[in-house]
Homo-oligomer: A and B are copies of this chain.
Amino acid sequence: MTFTYAHRVRSYEVDHQGIVFNGRYLELADAAMTEFFDGFGWTYPQLIALGFDPAVVAIDLRFRAPARLGDDLVVTVTCTHVGTTSTVLHFVVRRGEHDLASITTTYVNVTSGVGRSAPIPQPIRERLVAIAQHQGESS
């Protein structure tokens, strides 16, 4: 059960070397994460209403091959860990059959406006656990 997000590389995302600038991959991951939750029927305001406001605490990026202007990228999103207050999403950026990059992001749920960590709300937790288990079995 993997979620995918499509993106075409734009001219302003490419740097002087003609390849997508590394910081732009974090825009891609952010957009893919939003659509991942949206796919479950949770928009950002709905996540906030449920008590889920994820703050990024760690990001690991690995680059295998560059993306270039006009490339049609597909980002795969999976959940690889769910703790009490934190969760880890794993993004793989592909162009056709080629793995170009992967991004592993650790989020801690915070109380909006306060910034203190808070347990991940039960309905969101259940959904993420189901994905993480499925992911564990299939890998």
- Which residues in A have some Cβ–Cβ distance to B below 8 Å? 8, 10-12, 14-18, 21-27, 30-31, 34, 43-45, 53, 55-63, 66, 69-70, 115
Contact = CB atoms under 8 A, between A and B. Distances in A.
A53 B18 CA distance: 13
Contacts of A12: 15, 21, 23-24, 26-27, 30
Contact of A61 (B58, B66, B70): B58
21 contacts: A10-B34, A11-B15, A11-B16, A11-B17, A11-B21, A12-B21, A12-B23, A12-B26, A12-B27, A14-B15, A16-B18, A16-B69, A17-B55, A22-B26, A23-B24, A55-B66, A56-B63, A57-B63, A58-B62, A59-B59, A59-B60
Identical chains bound together, number: 4
Nearest to A57: B63
A40 to B, nearest CB: 15
Dominant SS among interface residues on chain A: mixed
A47 to B, nearest CB: 11
Given A69-B44, A70-B45, A30 B58 contact: no
Contacts of A16: 11, 14, 18, 69
Contact of A11 (B8, B34, B60): B34
